[in-house]
Structure 1
C-alpha cells in the first residue's frame, strides 16, 4: 500500500520553523496538546522534530532563562536530543513501520526534502491491525 494513503497533509500539520521563538514553540505545543512537532527550514525542507523534552532540558540547562525571556530565544538554539527520521513519499510500509516503533509520527518528504506531511503512528498501527484481522 502507498503511504500517501495515510498522509496527513502539511496544511493540516502544526509545524514550527527554525526562527520560531522558544515561547512560541511552548505555546503552540500546549495549545494543540502535542508532545512533538516538526521543524522546517524557511524554504520548507524538513529539519527535525522538537519534543517537549528538548524544550524542558534546554530550559533546565539555562538557569538564567525565565519564562518571560523565552521570547528572546530562537528554536535554532535548542539542541534536539532525538533524530526523527523522515521518509520519502515513495517509501514502503516496512520503512514506515520500523520508524513508527520509535517515533510518534513519521515526517514525509518529497524528492527535494520538502516536508509534505506526516503519518501518525496510530494510522500505522491501525493498518497493521487490519492486516492481522484479515489473516484470522
Structure 2
C-alpha cells in the first residue's frame, strides 16, 4: 500500500486554491482518497487497461481520478491532499510513475501535468507532474 500526499504550497497567481484534481496512472489500483473537511470529494472510475490481482481477486476497474473541490485554500497557506493506493507488481522498478495534477483557483489554474519524454530532463519542464520513483521490492 502506498500513501500519496499532494502538497499545495501556494495558490495560482495569488488566488486561493478551490480544487485539486489528480489523475491516477495505470497500475495504481484500490485508490481510497482521504476526505477533507470543507471540501467536496469525488472520484471518477473507469476500466483499467488490463485486470490486476488484489488479494487473490481480479480487479478490472477502479478510480482513475480524484477530485477535491468547493473548498478554499488561501494563497498564504499550504495544505495536503491524501490518498492511499496499491502499486501493482506490473509496475517496472527503476522507473518514475507520474500523477498529473490540476490545481484550480478563482479564475485561474496551474496544470502540473508535464511528463518528460524519454531522455528529457524533468527539471527542464515548466509544470512537471508529481511523480514517484519505483524501487525494487524488498
TM class by shorter chain equals: under 0.3
Structure with the largest fraction of strand: 2
Structure with the largest fraction of helix: 1
Structure 2-normalised TM-score? 0.24
